[in-house]
Amino acid sequence: MQTLAPTRSIVHHTRGSSHGPITRLVSPGDLGEVLKPFIFLDRFEVAAGSPPPRFGMHPHSGIATLTYLISGQTAYEDTTGEHGARGVLPHGGVEWMMAGGGVWHTGTLDNHARVLGFQLWVAMPPELELAEAHSLYLGPQDVPQAGPARVLLGSYGGQTSPIPAPSNISYLGVHLQAGETWHFEPPAGHTVAWAAVGEGVLTAPAALRTGDLAVFEDAGGAIEFEAQTDTAFVLGSGVPHPHALFTGPYSVHTSEEALHRGQAGIRERAQLLRQQGRL
């Protein structure tokens, strides 16, 4: 008889810190050190008709951001490419922006309907942290699916995201109906694993509710989820990022020198934005 390996247990649980409609669950200075390359995570929720948060045009360098909309839509604008990018991201869509050596962007949540989603920051390896900035926007029809999991980044269940993964990681958006179970078997070497609940209640095996984030032990085994209500959550798994985190405002790099270069790139692009009257 085959003996099943024990499933991974939860070793850390948090509800983060909330500021209006935004809850910060992970930052580079706290759980980001434990979960790297996943170094930052915000959950955001705006009720229909409520005033949305105002982000304004702001910079990044050294990291990539991935925004996933569970419901609602948002307008976006960034300075990637020759003329920048702008448009509207619908619910189920994914925004990927690799900041590289410096980029500016903004977003405006559409409050005509409820908006719910997550924004993740991913740490880059040295060969990508100062590369040319670029962005990619996927509609829901462009996001591959493996069972209840939408493959937002990396590969899972024989499906691969159109977004080129910067390292050996997977990031999934999972939707379960009440009573459904899901067995997550991480790819080989993925000892980093966590899940954050957008809405609903599930067990993994401890109870997790709307707004919770759970960190799983680094044993590399499977994780069992059971939905107690209709549930939407995100899950990240990957090989640990082997580099230190050097942080500045809106920037994370692998060395002090790279951080200085990234911040210089941000200043150069700010000058251009001022000349264009966009900043």
Condensed to tens digits (0 to 9), the pLDDT of residues 248-271 reads: 989 999 999 999 999 999 999 999
Residue 161 lies in a domain: yes
- Helices and strands, counts by H and E, the chain: 2, 26
Residue 47 lies in a domain: yes
Q: Which CATH number fits the domain that encloses residue 158?
A: 2.60.120.10
Residue 23 lies in a domain: yes
Mean pLDDT score across all residues of the chain: 94
Give the sign of the dihedral formed by CA 69, CA 54, CA 121, CA 162.
positive
For 191, the 3-state DSSP assignment is coil
- Residue 24's pLDDT is 97
**2 pLDDT higher than 50:** no
Which helix (H) or strand (E) segment is 88 a member of? strand 85-89
Residue 1 lies in a domain: no
CB-CB contact of 144 with 150 (8 Å): yes
Residue 258 lies in a domain: yes
**4 pLDDT higher than 60:** no
- The b/e string for 90-104 (b: 16+ C-beta within 10 A; e otherwise) is bbbbbbbbbbbbbbb
pLDDT digits (tens, 9 = 90+) for 14-60: 999 999 999 999 999 999 999 999 999 999 999 999 988 878 899 99
Burial (CB count <10 Å: 0-12, 13-18, 19+), residue 117: buried
Residue type, 82: E
For 270, the 3-state DSSP assignment is helix
Structure tokens at 49: 């008709």
Query: Rounded to an integer, what distance in angstroms lies between the CA atom of residue 204 and that of residue 57?
Result: 38
- Residue 273's pLDDT is 87
List all residues 6 or more positions away from 93 whose beta carbon is below 8 Å from its beta carbon: 68, 69, 73, 137, 138, 139, 140, 143
Residue type, 277: G
Going through 99-133 in order, the beta strands assigned E by DSSP cover 103-109, 115-123
**5 pLDDT higher than 70:** no
Q: Provide the residue range defining the domain that includes 114.
A: 10-275
Residue 21 lies in a domain: yes
Domain count, the chain: 1
Structure tokens at 192: 């980093």
Query: Rounded to an integer, what distance in angstroms lies between the CA atom of residue 188 and that of residue 205?
Result: 22
Residue 2 lies in a domain: no
Residue type, 154: G
Residue 4 lies in a domain: no
List all residues 6 or more positions away from 163 whose beta carbon is below 8 Å from its beta carbon: 66, 94, 96, 136, 138, 152, 153
pTM tops 0.75, yes or no: yes
